[in-house]
Structure 1
Amino acid sequence: MKKIWIKIVLLLSLSPLTAQEIGQNLFKAGFENVQVLEEADTLKVFFEYREFRSPYHSMRYAGLMLQDETEKALVWIPMHHNRPIGNYVAGSDRFFQLSQAEREFYRSNNSLSSYRFHFRINPDFSARFGYYSDPFQIKFNVVLDSRIYLAPGLSLQTGISIPVRNNLDAQDTSPRLAPSMIHYFTQPVNSHFLAASIGSFYYDRYGFDLQYRYAPLDSRWSFGLETGLTGFYWMNAGSFYSEELDAFHAVADMEYRLLFENLTGKFSAGQFLFGDKGARVDLIRQYGTVDIGLHVAATDAGVTGGFQFAFSLWPGTIFRTKKLELRTSEEFRWEYSYNNEDPVARSYRLGMPRLDDVLRQYNELFVQSLDGRH
């Protein structure tokens, strides 16, 4: 009889994890809003993981945790900004669009209380080179901000900006409110993505920003439109100055993922931030969690060229509990353009990645390339 009980205990200890246990284990590892849709031979795992830029790395991390804990096939459904993106089949990284049943499951089980309160450390860096009397001018702030989800797909992002060095402009070195906004993201129909922001942005802009993108994530092609109405604002210790919302921009683009080396070509045209009309061409190479790009642009304000890069900051998570997390930014992005006189084809950063930069990470061909399948 004793041997029988020992066998029962061993079998129970080796039994596959339940959906609830999977959710609990992933949450302890930093995953948020974990929901598990259990089917006859498949587990579909919804989750958001904000430390990594690429969903591949979060899916890989989850897979390593669960590889021996379930007998069912795993399908990952990563979320961005509290919205599910699509299905990635574990082991093949094949992408499939969301079904109506999956959307209904998400709507019924989505939990805003399943997110930690994140504090994010994010550097803010601007530079100008070659000025005769001061050839290396920089403006460097450290931003400590947070994002709070208010409703499905809707968040408030705000924080504090702490100046470290500034010999670029006349702004003082007193701490000030960081760019703060209400941001909404959704995928109302498969492959169609919308993002809207209202508030203050980087490059001393405030106003309204709207983005739309048609991006089938199993395709080489995607198309987008960005538009907005912004004005200039300026903050110093004890003072605030703003101008009218008078800068309208509208830029359309098309992207094509080339057949080799994770290269993407992007062509943009329209009216840019300061009213100059023209076009810009980008060539972007993705190296895992790092993007490096070159660009050239020509508008009626002149011609320019430059480079950009984006990567996750080390060390990632610094401190984590069930309710709180302190981490470095999942994306630090910096762009430099050379201009003789007026700014050419200029834009501004929002404080979170733009749709094209986000969705490029979710493209099936890129995800498979990281696992050596493409």
Structure 2
Amino acid sequence: MRKVWINIIFYLAAGLLQAQELRQTLFDAGFENVQVKEQDDSLKVFFEHREFRNPYHSMRFANLLLQHSGFLEKPLVWIPLYHNTPIGSYTAGDFSFKELSANDRKFFRKENHFFRDYRFHLRVHPEVSARFGYYSHPFQTKFNLILDSRIYVAPGLSLQSGIAIPVENSLDNQSMKLRAAPSMLHYFAQPFNRHFIGLSLGSFYYDRYGVDFEYRYAPMEQAWSFGFQTSLTGFYWLHGTSVYSEQMNNLLAIADVEYRLPMENLSVQLSAGQFLFEDRGARLDLIKQFGTVDLGLHVASTEAGFSGGFQFAFSLWPGSFYRNKHVELRTTEEFRWEYSYNNEDPVARNFRLGMPRLPDLLRQYKEGFLKSL
């Protein structure tokens, strides 16, 4: 009997040691909040990696690391986190998707260390605005370099802030003084499987401040998803440390439905409602995913007129500049830019947050897309 207990204790100790080594191996490679749930038939690994825009690349990178480290005695199941929130489970190899079980949720709530197991990230990314077509100034631009950080202060809740460094401005009369970058509290959660919410309070891009709420129903194994966004914002303008602001009286309310076509990683998204400046109408987007890059075309028809254009989103090179146990300096995981040929009238205009909108985020986690890579 004593020998049996010794074997059990030895087995448990060996398992704990292996889990600790696995966590350390991934943490050293930039993974954060790594939690290992060992089961009889598999090893479930919760993790977040903020350098990668697409979860496929983080899971593939982790799999390569563990292959070289000799941890693959059991089949691996990856549970990627976004904003300190688990999205779902993906089987290593074929990337088949399963929704989170009640036990998985309970395990993560117990083991989640939203403050201790994250590095302090400094993120570098450009802010670019442009206007084309004026005879005297054919190409007008405003270029700022943003240095910001996101700190988790509670499960799923972060505080984001930083500075904007003006580099070029031939577009408007905003000064070239250092000023605060868009700063906000942001909450992201999946309260129930397939249901996602995002809530932001603070200042945003396109000189907006206020409150923004998003909801999305997004089954990762299905082609359809739908949701809505609503916000109440006002205009603000920074000149160094001086602030000019107007009342929060601009209501935005947009609903959308998106369908993933069974070909070439194409998605069609139809949005309708009241855009910025009480502009009512509809917009149609066609989005093509190329691994870590999204390319899109859009047309819009509203009370303000008709417009069309393109957009793209990708991770900026080179990724991580410097990383140690507590700090990481890196480029942004997503740089997004959009151009509409009717850039004078506010046709179907929206504003950007400091993180991706829910449709753009959750599109990256679709099972069909990951299996195609």
Q: Separation in 1 of the partners of 2:40 and 2:226?
A: 37
Q: Separation in 2 of the partners of 1:343 and 1:107?
A: 43
Instruction: Name the SS for the 1:203 alignment partner.
Output: coil
Mapped contact 2:208–2:233 kept (Cα < 8 A): yes
Residue 237 (structure 1) shift: 2.8
Instruction: Name the SS for the 1:249 alignment partner.
Output: strand
Please give the residue correspondences for 1:27-176 in structure 2 after superposition, counting only pairs within 5 Å.
27-67=27-67, 68-112=70-114, 113-176=116-179
Which residue does the alignment assign to 1:6? none
Please give the residue correspondences for 1:168-187 in structure 2 after superposition, counting only pairs within 5 Å.
168-187=171-190
Residue 339 (structure 1) shift: 1.4
**Which of residues 320, 324, 337 is equivalent to 1:321?**
324
**Which of residues 328, 333, 339 is equivalent to 2:342?**
339
Per-residue CA distance 1:311-339 (angstroms, 9 max, x = gap) = 00000000000000000000000001121
Per-residue CA distance 1:119-177 (angstroms, 9 max, x = gap) = 00010000000012111000000000000000000000000000000000000101100
Q: Separation in 2 of the partners of 1:338 and 1:228?
A: 25
Name the amino acid aligned to 2:177.
S
Residue 16 (structure 1) shift: 11
Residue 69 (structure 1) shift: 2.2
Q: Separation in 2 of the partners of 1:309 and 1:227?
A: 23
- Would you say how many aligned residue pairs link Structure 1 and Structure 2? 357
Which residue does the alignment assign to 2:21? 21
Please give the residue correspondences for 1:178-327 in structure 2 after superposition, counting only pairs within 5 Å.
178-327=181-330
Deviates more, 1:177-186 or 1:233-242: 233-242
Name the amino acid aligned to 1:98.
L
Mapped contact 2:179–2:241 kept (Cα < 8 A): no
Residue 110 (structure 1) shift: 0.2
Name the amino acid aligned to 1:173.
M
Q: Separation in 2 of the partners of 1:294 and 1:283?
A: 5
Q: Separation in 1 of the partners of 2:109 and 2:241?
A: 45
Alpha-carbon RMSD: 1.3
Mapped contact 2:276–2:346 kept (Cα < 8 A): no
Residue 17 (structure 1) shift: 7.1
Q: Separation in 2 of the partners of 1:361 and 1:342?
A: 31
Mapped contact 1:16–1:70 kept (Cα < 8 A): no
Mapped contact 2:18–2:71 kept (Cα < 8 A): no
Q: Separation in 1 of the partners of 2:343 and 2:225?
A: 33
Q: Separation in 2 of the partners of 1:367 and 1:198?
A: 32
Which residue does the alignment assign to 2:369? 366
Residue 70 (structure 1) shift: 2.2
Q: Separation in 2 of the partners of 1:341 and 1:210?
A: 27
Mapped contact 1:16–1:69 kept (Cα < 8 A): no
Residue 238 (structure 1) shift: 4.1
Cα 1:341–1:136 change in 2 (3 A) is closer
Which residue does the alignment assign to 1:355? 358
Name the amino acid aligned to 2:112.
N
Per-residue CA distance 1:164-222 (angstroms, 9 max, x = gap) = 00000000101100000000000000000000000000000000000000000000000
Percent identical across equivalent pairs? Answer: 65
Cα 1:134–1:75 change in 2 (3 A) is same
The normalised TM-score by structure 2 is 0.94
Mapped contact 1:35–1:109 kept (Cα < 8 A): yes
Unaligned 5+ runs, structure 1: 1-14
Name the amino acid aligned to 1:203.
Y
Mapped contact 1:118–1:324 kept (Cα < 8 A): yes
Q: Separation in 2 of the partners of 1:150 and 1:184?
A: 10
Mapped contact 1:17–1:69 kept (Cα < 8 A): no
Instruction: Name the SS for the 1:250 alignment partner.
Output: strand
Cα 1:198–1:16 change in 2 (3 A) is closer
Unaligned 5+ runs, structure 2: 1-14
Name the amino acid aligned to 1:326.
L
Which residue does the alignment assign to 2:12? none
Residue 340 (structure 1) shift: 6.4
